[in-house]
Structure 1
Amino acid sequence: MIREAEVRKALTGIQISRDSPSVSHILFVDDTFISCQASATEGNEVMRILQDYKKASGQKVNLGKCSVSFSPHVPVALRRCILIGLGMREVKDQGKYLGLLSRGTDKKRGLSLHIS
Structure 2
Amino acid sequence: MELEERHFTDLFATTTRSKVEECTRIIPKKVTVEMNKELLKEVSDKEIRDAAFSMESLKVPGLEGLNGLFFQNHWVIISREVCDVIKDIFASRRMPEDMRETIMVLIPKVKQPECLSQLRPISCSEVFTELMEEAQREGRISGVKLAPTAPVITHLMFADDCILFAEAKEEELYQIILIMNRYTDASGQNINLEKSGIVFG
Secondary structure of 1:51 counterpart: helix
Secondary structure of 1:27 counterpart: strand
- Indicate yes or no: 2:157 matched with 1:27: yes
Q: Distance in 1 between the 2:184 and 2:144 partners?
A: 25
Q: Spell out, residue by residue over 1:48-67, the C-alpha distance to the aligned partner (whole angstroms, 9 max, x if none).
A: 01111111000111111101
Secondary structure of 2:163 counterpart: strand
The alpha carbon displacement at 1:16 in A equals: 1.0
Secondary structure of 1:44 counterpart: helix
- Indicate yes or no: 2:143 matched with 1:16: no
What is residue 173 of structure 2 aligned with on the other side?
43
Q: Distance in 1 between the 2:133 and 2:158 partners?
A: 16
Unaligned 5+ runs, structure 1: 72-116
Greater strand share, structure number: 1
Q: Counterpart amino acid of 1:21? A: P
What is residue 196 of structure 2 aligned with on the other side?
66
Q: Distance in 1 between the 2:178 and 2:194 partners?
A: 18
The alpha carbon displacement at 1:12 in A equals: 0.3
Q: In terms of Rg, which structure is larger?
A: 2
Count of residue correspondences: 71
Q: Distance in 2 between the 1:14 and 1:38 partners?
A: 11
- Indicate yes or no: 2:136 matched with 1:6: yes
Q: Counterpart amino acid of 2:132? A: I
Q: Which runs of 4+ in 1 moved over 4 A?
A: none
Taking structure 1 as the reference length, the TM-score comes to: 0.60
Secondary structure of 2:165 counterpart: strand
Q: Counterpart amino acid of 2:194? A: G
Unaligned 5+ runs, structure 2: 1-130
Q: Counterpart amino acid of 1:12? A: S
Greater helix share, structure number: 2
Q: Distance in 2 between the 1:9 and 1:20 partners?
A: 17
The alpha carbon displacement at 1:28 in A equals: 1.1
Q: Distance in 2 between the 1:37 and 1:3 partners?
A: 15
Select the structure with the greater relative contact order (CA < 8 A; seq sep ≥ 6). 1
Q: Counterpart amino acid of 2:192? A: N
Secondary structure of 1:50 counterpart: helix
- Root mean square deviation, CA, Å: 0.7
Q: Counterpart amino acid of 1:68? A: I
Secondary structure of 1:36 counterpart: coil
The alpha carbon displacement at 1:34 in A equals: 0.5
Secondary structure of 2:133 counterpart: helix
